Structure formats: C-alpha cells, structure tokens
C-alpha cells in the first residue's frame, strides 16, 4: 500500500519531529533554557501587602547581577525605567495586580505571561548597551498600547 | 418523506442514484445555501473590519472612540474564526452528508435548522455588547477581564447550535450504517464524522469555562480561577482552528483529485489521517500556554510532544497530495521530473485556489512546528508573528480552500453552473488574495520577530526608537489588507452571483474514486467508539495533571475587571 518513497518521507518526517524533541529536551533540561514556568501562588488582591511585591524595585545581588521585583497593572510597570551596566544578569520576579499581562522586552528573548494569582520569574543577561523597550504583549484593556517602559543598559 | 426513509436497502440505492443524477433535494439545498450565505456575509463584514485594523496598525487611520481598535478586533476574530468557519464547514459537510448518504433525514434537517438559528441568535447576542463597548475582550475573553454577561450567553447559544449540528450528523451517519451493514462510511461523510466529533468534544471545555464565567460576570460569584479558565479555553481554541483545517483537508483528499480528473489517495491512509487528527487534536492547544506560570517544565515538555505529533498526519497529507497531482498529470501525458505540473488545470479556480491553499500550508505548518517548540515559542509568543501564522493557516490554507469549494458547491446547491467569466474572476481573485496574504502575513512574521506585539493598536510607545523601526513593516499590513479587501468583494460577488443569477443547470458534486487496483480498506477504521476513547484517554493524559494542580493548589481567585 505504501510506496518506497512514501516510507522514506514518513521516516524523515518522524525523525524530524523526534529531532525537534531531543534538541528541545536537551535545551530545556540540560542547558536550563526552558520557558518561564515559575509557579508560586499569591493573593492577586493583596499584592501590595505581600513580600517581595510590597517593595518593588531593583536590587543588586552580586557582581553584575540584579534582581528586579516588578508588578504589572493597567497600564504600567512598577518600577519603570530600569538602569543596569552592560554585561549584567537580571532576574525578574513578576506578578499582576489585576488582569493577565505579558512581559516582553524587544530584541531579547524575554517573554513571559504574567497571570494574577501567580508569581512568574525570568532571567536575561544584557550584553549590548542600549535602551530596551519593555512592553505588555497581552491585550489588557483600553490603554494596552501605552503599557511600556524601558531598560537602559550602559 | 418519512416513508421513503423507512424503505429497504434497495430503495436506498435507488435514492442514492437519483440523488447523483438529479442533484441535491431542494430542502437540503436550502439548508446549505443559508449556511453559506451567512458564512460569506461574515467574511464581508469581517474583511471590512480587518482592513480597518490593517490601516490603523500602519498608522494611517485613527479609529473613532465609538468604534475603537479593540472592538473591531474582537468582532473581526469572532466573525472570521467562529462564524465564517463554522457556517461554511457545516454548510459544506451537510451538503456532503446529503449527497453521499442519500439525503438528510427530516429529523436531522430540522436539527440543523434549529442549530442554525441558535448560532445566529447567539451571535447577535454576542455582537450587541461588542458594539456597545461592553465586551472588548477578544475571541479569547481571558478572565479576569469580564464582559457583559450577555456576551457569554451568546457564546452558549453558539456552542449549543454547533452541538445540534454535530448530533444531527451522528444520527444521519448512524442511520446510514444501520441500512448499509458491513460498508464503509463514504469518505466525505467519514471526514464529516471526524469534524463533528471534534466540534463536540472540543467545545466541551469552553462550555464548562463559560458556565463558570456567567455567574461570576453577573456578580453572583465573587472570584474566578484564572488559570483553569485559560486552560479550558485553549483546549477548545486550538482545536477549533484545527477543525477548520481538517475541513480543508477533506477537500484536498476527496474533491481536488476529482476536479483535476484523477483518483484519490489510498483510502486506508486517508482514513488513518482523519483518525490521527481526531485523536490528537484537542491536546495540541496547550502550546498556547508554554510561557504561562504555574505549569512545570516536564508537563510543558510533554505538551510540546503532543503538539508536534499533530504535524505527522499533516506531513502524510503533504506527500499524498503531491503524489496524487503527479500521478494524475503523468496519466495525462506529463513528463519529466517536475515538467508534469504543466498538465494540471491551472486555469480552473476549483483547482488553483485549493492548490495555493495547500502550498501555503508548507510554510504555515513549518511555522507552526517552530512556534509550538518551547524556547522558540518564547521568542514569538504574542508577537505579530503569531498573527502572521494564523493568517497563513486560516486565511490562506483554510479560507482559500473554502473559496475554491464555493465555485462548485454553490452552483451545486442552487442548481446553476459556473460560467467561464466567474471562473476567470475566481482565478484573478485567487491571485489577488495570494498576493495580499503573502505581503501581509510575511510582514507580520518579520515584524513579530523584531518584537512588535499582537492585539495592540498603533503605538510608537512614546516615540521609542525600537517601536518606530517597526513602522515600515507595519505599512505592508495596509497594502496587504487593501488587496485582501478587494479579494473579499470579488469573492462575495461571485458567491451571490452563483447562488442567484448564474445560468441554470446541473453541477456535479465532485468526489474522486479510489484507484482501481486498491486493496479493500480494513473494517477497523470504522471503530469510532474506539477512536473517541483514545481521544479521551489522551486528553486525560494531557489535562488531568495541570487542571488538578490549578484547582487543588489554587491561589485566591480574581474579581471581574472592565479595563476598557
């Protein structure tokens, strides 16, 4: 019923999918490049009273290493206008105070859903100096297109 | 009518033949005509709204406060992803059921009509709050954004209307099987069964979601579990688009080979593709949540596999289609390694449109595989890339197939014929649509990679240099959108001309035969009960762990917000 060429095609197709899986698995589990999946819970109506979000901001935690505790709310990021030296690794800890938001930094791989009730974490090393655009990429209301800030890398 | 239905198998055979010679019964024809009319009115309206968005994103048009970008986008999504696709799919498959099963049962026809009016009623209910700016929540309506309760009640009616049609098709197929023991369900009805099984099971999660949202939207319940709602939505949301794709695939396997004067692909392999797509589809929706919090990496990894697995039957299809084309062209005297392509009927819109639709699925499917893979998803999630992707899959692969079908399906149900002029119009329409989609979707993919977000009205983000650098790409959205609008107008004209004004005559329902020397298809392919059980087991594997975790370890819920 199957032609030889079809068998070859299907073996290649199957091999391609398995190849994708192996590479993805290696990157996820061996290189720790998996997608942001942090899962700590938080009361979405008490974000301001819950540590660490009672004190959002940027904190130096090591040599060229920073932690940014950030809340997202319609239609802003707190803190905004972050500044770090070039070569810094920045760990973001994020949560939402109202609806679902997206945390995306253009020209990097920073991209995470920020869902009320959950803490999300994502890390990025900023090598190249410049001004990076931070924006919300999940529609969140009338001012969604205004929801942005910047990260300046010097 | 009732007496005819209760006849013996012999009468059934006679009826089948009569159906083939005389064409569809007037009552069945009216049903399909009504469904298709709604579908093409939806594309007219949805197309106009799409153009408004394209112009806005290009920075050329500021939308008025009484009809803002997000209202337009919510309506555009609902009209094209739900109304156009559902009404076309049901209209087409009901004509197929009528044709291949010897007419619809009167009871089934009635169910399809009830389903029709439930969907129309539901849609009107959903649109009113959108127009009043009380439901700018998009096609995905993620809680804790809360629309007017009327919007969700409208959705309930749409789902119930779809279920009526699904049950109707099951009853018709079951009755045919009873009268034709030991026979295989005719191939188009086999596809229809797969599609309606998926429509039913795929919409159960969203029905549960909406039933938890309604009391919350009314204020009877204070909070909602955001992640449960989101997960239930995507168990439905991606299944839905894959159902429209499966509908297009049915035409590629069954209709297109006949249009080009060939025979269809191996019956067993065709049925395996349908079964595989039915079993594996629902779990694929999870890749929309790859960068969500609260789902562990191993669970996400398992879901990447479940999503990618759907690629396999599609790769089988890719081979099958080109094999059928080559085989047919060679029989007609085509020569050379690729020179045979000259023997295909390029000037026939009934072939050209679905052919380009299929070809578009090569980059579209590849893009799909890329973006359902963990890390690569993170690069493009919620950017314009995604919008480019589903305009390639739905806007080209599915919708162009629907267009190609309309040039014989509408004459078939209206007992008219396709004229050479309308065929020519169709060929030009196909070219315009292709150019429009390539320009628009190409630009969307590219600017998405650069970081431009989806579902966002035109913004320079306070004159940010990065955002400003996206503008030249976004300009192509306006050019593509304008071409597509011209395409919509031509298509809608062709549809209504063929329905009401084209010369009277008989048009064939083109269903290709299998190759003469083909081995009989084994009986096990007909075990629908088993396929449904397999599907449920797979859905269980995929969803029990995360859903139980979201419910058992739930954070305090969220109250409703109206942020627009």
Task: Check A99 against B563: CB less than 8 A apart.
Answer: yes
- Closest-CA distance of chain B to residue A13, Å: 7
Q: Can you give the pLDDT of all 564 residues of chain B as single tens digits?
A: 333 334 444 555 555 555 555 678 999 999 999 999 999 999 999 999 999 999 999 999 999 989 999 999 999 999 999 999 999 999 999 999 999 999 999 999 999 999 999 999 999 999 999 999 999 999 999 999 999 999 999 999 999 999 999 999 999 999 999 999 989 999 999 999 999 999 999 999 999 999 999 999 999 999 999 999 999 999 999 999 999 999 999 999 999 999 999 999 999 999 999 999 999 999 988 899 999 999 999 999 999 998 899 999 999 999 999 999 999 999 999 888 889 999 999 999 999 999 999 999 999 999 998 888 888 899 999 999 999 999 999 999 999 999 999 999 999 999 999 999 999 999 999 999 999 999 999 999 999 999 999 999 999 999 999 999 999 999 999 999 999 999 999 999 999 999 999 999 999 999 999 999 889 999 999 999 999 999 999 999 999 999 999 999 999 999 999 999
Give the position of tokens 């009873």. B178
pLDDT at B14: 55
Q: Are B557 and B222 a contacting pair, CB within 8 Å?
A: yes
Q: Are B380 and B288 a contacting pair, CB within 8 Å?
A: no
* Domains along the sequence of chain B with CATH: 29-510+519-524+531-552 (1.20.210.10)
Q: Are B38 and B120 a contacting pair, CB within 8 Å?
A: yes
Distance CA A52, CA A55 (A): 6
Residues A143 and A70 both lie in one domain: yes
pLDDT at B426: 98
Residues A13 and A61 both lie in one domain: no
Nearest-5° Cα angle at B74, B73 to B75: 90
Q: Are A89 and A125 a contacting pair, CB within 8 Å?
A: yes
Q: Which long-range contacts (CB under 8 A, 24 or more apart) does B536-544 make?
A: B536/B201, B538/B279, B538/B280, B538/B282, B538/B283, B538/B306, B539/B201, B539/B235, B539/B282, B539/B283, B541/B283, B541/B302, B542/B282, B542/B283, B542/B286, B542/B302, B542/B303, B542/B306, B543/B231, B543/B235, B543/B283, B543/B286
For residue A81, count other CB atoms closer than 10 A to its CB: 11
A39 within a domain of the structure (yes/no): no
pLDDT at B373: 86
DSSP conformation class of B219: T
Question: Where do runs of H (alpha helix) occur along B260-348?
Answer: 267-280, 297-309, 311-331
**Residue A12's domain spans which residues?**
1-34
pLDDT at B484: 97
The residue of chain A with its CA nearest to that of B321 is A6
Q: Domain count of chain A?
A: 2
Of B290, B297, B466, the CB nearest to A133: B466
Residues A91 and A64 both lie in one domain: yes
Residues A70 and A110 both lie in one domain: yes
A interface test, pick of B291, B365, B468 with most A CB neighbours within 10 Å = B291
Q: Are B550 and B227 a contacting pair, CB within 8 Å?
A: yes
Residues A104 and A130 both lie in one domain: yes
pLDDT at B241: 92
Residues A70 and A131 both lie in one domain: yes
pLDDT at B375: 87
Task: Check B312 against A133: CB less than 8 A apart.
Answer: no
Task: Check B323 against A115: CB less than 8 A apart.
Answer: no
Task: Check B144 against A39: CB less than 8 A apart.
Answer: no
pLDDT at B22: 64
Using CA atoms, how far residue B148 sits from B71, B151, B152, in Å, is 13, 6, 7
B466 interaction partners in chain A (CB closer than 8 Å):
106-107, 131-133
Q: How many helices (H) and strands (E) does chain B have?
A: 21, 0
pLDDT at B13: 55
Find the largest Cα–Cα distance for chain B: 75
Task: Check B561 against A99: CB less than 8 A apart.
Answer: yes
Residues A108 and A146 both lie in one domain: yes
A70 within a domain of the structure (yes/no): yes
pLDDT at B9: 47
Residue B49, CB half-sphere, CA atoms under 13 Å: how many?
21
CATH at A113? 2.60.40.420
Q: How many helices (H) and strands (E) does chain A have?
A: 1, 10
> What DSSP string runs through B101-115?
TTS--HHHHHHHHHH
A98-127, pLDDT tens digit by residue? 999 999 999 999 999 999 999 999 999 999
- Report the SS3 class of residue A141: coil
Give the position of tokens 């429209």. B244
**Quick one: CA torsion of A125, A127, A129, A131, rounded to 10 degrees?**
-30
- Report the SS3 class of residue B132: coil
A19 within a domain of the structure (yes/no): yes
Helix, strand, coil percentages, rounded to 5, for chain B: 75, 0, 25
Of B369, B383, B555, the CB nearest to A42: B555
Residue B544, CB half-sphere, CA atoms under 13 Å: how many?
6
Residue A19 has pLDDT above 80, yes or no: yes
Of B230, B293, B453, the CB nearest to A119: B293
B interface test, pick of A117, A129, A147 with most B CB neighbours within 10 Å = A117
A40 within a domain of the structure (yes/no): no
Interaxial angle between packed helices B267-280 and B226-250, expressed in degrees from 0 to 180 and rounded to the nearest 10: 170
A66 within a domain of the structure (yes/no): yes
A146 within a domain of the structure (yes/no): yes
Residues A70 and A4 both lie in one domain: no
A42 within a domain of the structure (yes/no): no
Residues A51 and A29 both lie in one domain: no
A102 within a domain of the structure (yes/no): yes
- Closest-CA distance of chain A to residue B312, Å: 7
Radius of gyration for the alpha carbons in chain A, expressed in angstroms and rounded: 20
Residues A60 and A4 both lie in one domain: no
Spell A30-41 as b/e; 16+ CB within 10 A means b: eeeebbbbebeb
Q: Are B273 and B376 a contacting pair, CB within 8 Å?
A: no
Q: Please name which of B152, B145, B104 lies closest in space to residue B126, comparing C-alpha atoms.
A: B152
- Closest-CA distance of chain B to residue A147, Å: 8
E strand or H helix at B99, and its extent? helix B85-100
pLDDT at B15: 54
pLDDT at A1: 59
B interface test, pick of A11, A34, A35, A143 with most B CB neighbours within 10 Å = A35
For residue B63, count other CB atoms closer than 10 A to its CB: 17
Helix, strand, coil percentages, rounded to 5, for chain A: 20, 40, 40
Residues A8 and A75 both lie in one domain: no
Within 8 A by CB and 6+ apart from B351, the residues are B256, B259, B260, B344, B345, B404
């Amino acid at each position: 019923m199957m032609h030889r060429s079809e068998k070859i095609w299907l073996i290649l197709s199957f091999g391609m999918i398995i190849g994708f899986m192996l590479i993805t698995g290696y990157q996820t589990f061996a290189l720790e490049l998996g997608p942001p999946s942090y899962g700590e819970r938080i009361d979405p109506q008490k974000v301001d009273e819950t540590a660490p979000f009672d004190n959002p901001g940027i904190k130096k935690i090591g040599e060229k290493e920073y932690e940014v505790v950030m809340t997202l709310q319609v239609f802003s990021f707190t803190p905004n206008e972050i500044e770090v030296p070039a070569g810094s690794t920045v760990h973001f800890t994020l949560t939402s105070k109202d609806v679902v938001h997206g945390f995306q930094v253009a020209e990097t791989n920073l991209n995470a859903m920020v869902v009320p009730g959950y803490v999300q974490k994502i890390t990025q090393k900023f090598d190249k100096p410049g001004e990076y655009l931070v924006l919300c990429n999940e529609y969140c209301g009338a001012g969604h297109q205004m929801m942005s800030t910047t990260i300046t890398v010097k | 009518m009732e007496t005819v239905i209760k006849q013996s198998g012999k009468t059934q055979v006679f009826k089948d033949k009569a159906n083939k010679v005389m064409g569809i019964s007037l009552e069945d024809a009216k049903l399909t005509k009504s469904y298709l009319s709604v579908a093409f009115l939806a594309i007219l309206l949805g197309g106009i709204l799409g153009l408004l968005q394209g112009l806005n994103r290009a920075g050329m048009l500021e939308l008025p406060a009484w009809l803002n970008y997000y209202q337009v986008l919510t309506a555009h999504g609902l009209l094209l992803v739900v109304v156009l696709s559902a009404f076309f799919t049901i209209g087409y498959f009901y004509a197929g059921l009528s044709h291949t099963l010897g007419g619809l049962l009167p009871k089934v026809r009635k169910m399809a009509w009830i389903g029709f009016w439930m969907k129309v009623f539901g849609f009107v209910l959903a649109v009113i709050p959108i127009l009043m700016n009380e439901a700018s929540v998009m096609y995905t309506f993620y809680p804790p954004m809360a629309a007017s309760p009327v919007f969700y009640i409208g959705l309930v009616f749409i789902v119930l209307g779809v279920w009526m049609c699904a049950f109707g098709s099951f009853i018709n197929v079951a009755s045919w099987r009873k009268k034709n023991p030991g026979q295989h369900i005719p191939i188009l009805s086999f596809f229809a069964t797969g599609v309606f099984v998926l429509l039913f099971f795929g919409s159960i999660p969203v029905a549960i979601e909406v039933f938890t949202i309604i009391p919350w939207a009314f204020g009877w319940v204070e909070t909602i579990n955001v992640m449960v709602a989101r997960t239930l939505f995507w168990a439905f949301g991606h299944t839905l688009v894959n159902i429209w794709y499966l509908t297009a695939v049915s035409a590629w396997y069954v209709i297109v080979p006949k249009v080009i004067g060939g025979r269809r692909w191996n019956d067993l392999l065709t049925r395996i593709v349908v079964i595989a797509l039915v079993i594996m589809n629902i779990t694929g929706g999870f890749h929309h949540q790859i960068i969500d919090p609260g789902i562990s990496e191993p669970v996400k990894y398992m879901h990447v596999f479940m999503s990618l697995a759907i690629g396999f039957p599609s790769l089988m299809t890719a081979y099958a289609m080109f094999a059928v084309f080559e085989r047919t062209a060679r029989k007609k005297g085509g020569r050379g390694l690729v020179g045979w392509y000259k023997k295909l009927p390029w000037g026939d819109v009934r072939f050209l449109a679905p052919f380009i639709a299929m070809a578009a699925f090569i980059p579209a499917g590849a893009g799909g595989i890329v973006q359902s893979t963990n890390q690569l998803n993170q690069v493009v999630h919620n950017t314009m890339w995604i919008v480019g992707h589903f305009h390639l899959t739905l806007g080209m692969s599915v919708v162009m197939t629907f267009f190609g079908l309309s040039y014989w399906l509408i004459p078939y149900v209206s007992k008219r014929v396709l004229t050479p002029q309308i065929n020519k119009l169709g060929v030009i329409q196909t070219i315009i649509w292709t150019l429009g989609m390539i320009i628009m979707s190409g630009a969307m993919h590219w600017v998405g990679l650069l970081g431009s977000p989806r579902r966002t009205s035109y913004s320079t983000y306070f004159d940010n240099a990065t955002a400003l650098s996206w503008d030249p790409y976004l300009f192509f959205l306006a050019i593509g959108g304008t071409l597509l609008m011209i395409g919509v107008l031509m298509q809608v004209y062709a549809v209504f001309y063929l329905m009401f004004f084209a010369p009277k005559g008989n048009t064939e329902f083109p269903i290709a035969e299998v190759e003469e020397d083909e081995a009989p298809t084994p009986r096990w392919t007909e075990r629908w009960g088993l396929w449904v059980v397999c599907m449920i087991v797979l859905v269980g594997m995929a969803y029990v762990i995360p859903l139980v975790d979201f419910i058992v370890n739930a954070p305090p819920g969220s109250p409703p917000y109206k942020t627009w």
